[in-house]
Every structure is written in structure tokens, then in C-alpha cells.
Amino acid sequence: MTDFITTYGGTLLRGFLWTIILVTGGFAIGSVFGALLASMLVSKKKLVGWLARSYVELIRNTPFLIQAMLLFALMGVLRLRLEPVLVGLVAVAIYSAAYMAEIIRGGLNSIPNGQREGARALAIGPLLQFRLIILPQLLPFVLPASVNLLATLCKESAFLAGVSVAELTFSGQVVITQTFLIFEVWAIIGVLYLVLVLSIMALAQFLERRMSWVNPAR
């Protein structure tokens, strides 16, 4: 066992770190685009709203593996030679942007319009209105949900092994071809994913409890 850990522990640990980098990086980029998409979703311009809606529906209603495969194929067609890990990160970002947009849109919709009208009546400008009135009510809604999304992303990222991105699941395949310890390696990897996902879920639950003081008027 100690032999196994000293020889292959590094490979697995590197895979684990890459999974974390992929997921958090993709989540960060996806959050920025998700916020942008959410503002498009609630915009009054029909075309803008329609564009954002079709992106969100397209991503939310197709499997992640197919999206990743398409992205890799597209990179091939465009003759872009990028690191697979980088393409995987983009895939996670594309995926999470759609889900993030829906989370933020839900939060924005839960804030009654009277708040915005009241702010306008008090002559509070749009920037200050967002910072003082919208954001404090949005965060308690968005934070727990987006941390839950992060947990989902960790699980979905395992699909990236199917397109040879060197993350945790892929590193397991590599170690198995060298050791033939099939069950043991998948069990170790399973435990690593469990620890990661369950601790993120616990964080989401903590945030939810912590922020339940805000009951957005619905």
C-alpha cells in the first residue's frame, strides 16, 4: 500500500488538483458570462433576450459529454492546437454559464419590482441601486445555489476523461494501465470525489442556513 502511494499517489494527486483547477477556473469564467447572460435574459429587448434564452436552453438540454466532444471537434476543424486541459476548462465554463444565468435570473426575478421603482423614486442611480438594493438581496439567493452548481460541476467534470483531459478520472485510467489494481484505484478516486463534492455541498448548506435571514418577498 505504501509502495502504491509513493509510486502512484503523485499521479492521482495531480489529477485531483487538475480537476479542482478545471472546475474552479471554469466556474469563475462561467459565472462572469452567466451574469452577463442573466442580464440579457431579463432585458426588455426581445432579440437580446431570445439569444440568451436559446443559449441557456441549448446548453441545459444537452449532455455535457456531447458538448465537450463538439468543442474538441470544433478545435480540430479550426486547427487550434490548445492544451486539452484548457479546452476542458472552456467546456466547463460554457456549461456553467448557462446554469449560472438561470440561478441569477431566478434571484433577480425574486426581487419585487417595487424595490426598483422605490429606488428610482428616491433618485438613486442605477449603479447605486444595484449595489445597495439589488445585490444584498441577490447574494443570499445566488451564493448557496452557485456553490451547489460548483458541486455539480465537479461531478460532471469526470466526463472530461472521455475526451482525454488529464483530470482525476483520466489519471485513474493511467494508473490502472500500469498497476491493474482496477477496483482499488476506482475506489480511491471515488473517495476523493466524495470528499470534494460532499464538502462543497456542506458549504452550500452552511451558506443557505447562514443567509436564510433574507426571505426575499415573493
Partner 1 sequence: MKYLLGAVDTVPLLLDGLVTTLLICGLASILALVGAVCIVAARRSGIGVVVWTAKVYVTLMRGLPIVILVFLLYFGVPALFDLGRVSALWVGVLALAMNGAAFQSEVLRGAIARLPNGQTEGAYALGLNKFQLWRLVLTPQVLPIALPALAGEIGFLIKASPVLSLITVVDLTRRAQQVTMQTFDPLGPLLAACFLYFLLIGSISWVSRYLETRLTVGRTR
The grid coordinates of residue 165 equal 483531459
What is the closest distance, in whole angstroms, from the C-beta atom of residue 2 to partner 1 in the complex? 21
What is the closest distance, in whole angstroms, from the C-beta atom of residue 40 to partner 1 in the complex? 20
Which 8-state DSSP code applies to residue 78? Answer: T
What is the closest distance, in whole angstroms, from the C-beta atom of residue 118 to partner 1 in the complex? 26
- The DSSP code sequence of 42-59 is T-S-HHHHHHHHHHHHHH
The grid coordinates of residue 71 equal 468543442
Which C-beta is closer to partner 1: that of 44 or that of 79? 79
- What's the N-to-C CA distance of the chain in angstroms? 56
CB 201 within 8 A of CB 121: no
How many Å apart are CA 200 and CA 153, to the nearest integer?
11
What is the closest distance, in whole angstroms, from the C-beta atom of residue 95 to partner 1 in the complex? 11
Which C-beta is closer to partner 1: that of 69 or that of 85? 69
What is the closest distance, in whole angstroms, from the C-beta atom of residue 64 to partner 1 in the complex? 7
Which C-beta is closer to partner 1: that of 101 or that of 138? 101
Which C-beta is closer to partner 1: that of 133 or that of 176? 176
Which C-beta is closer to partner 1: that of 96 or that of 169? 169
Provide the binding-site residues for partner 1, judged by CB under 8 A: 57-58, 60-67, 69-70, 73-74, 76-77, 154-159, 161-162, 169, 172, 176, 182-183, 186-187, 189-190, 193-194, 197-198, 201
How many Å apart are CA 157 and CA 23, to the nearest integer?
7
How many Å apart are CA 11 and CA 167, to the nearest integer?
10
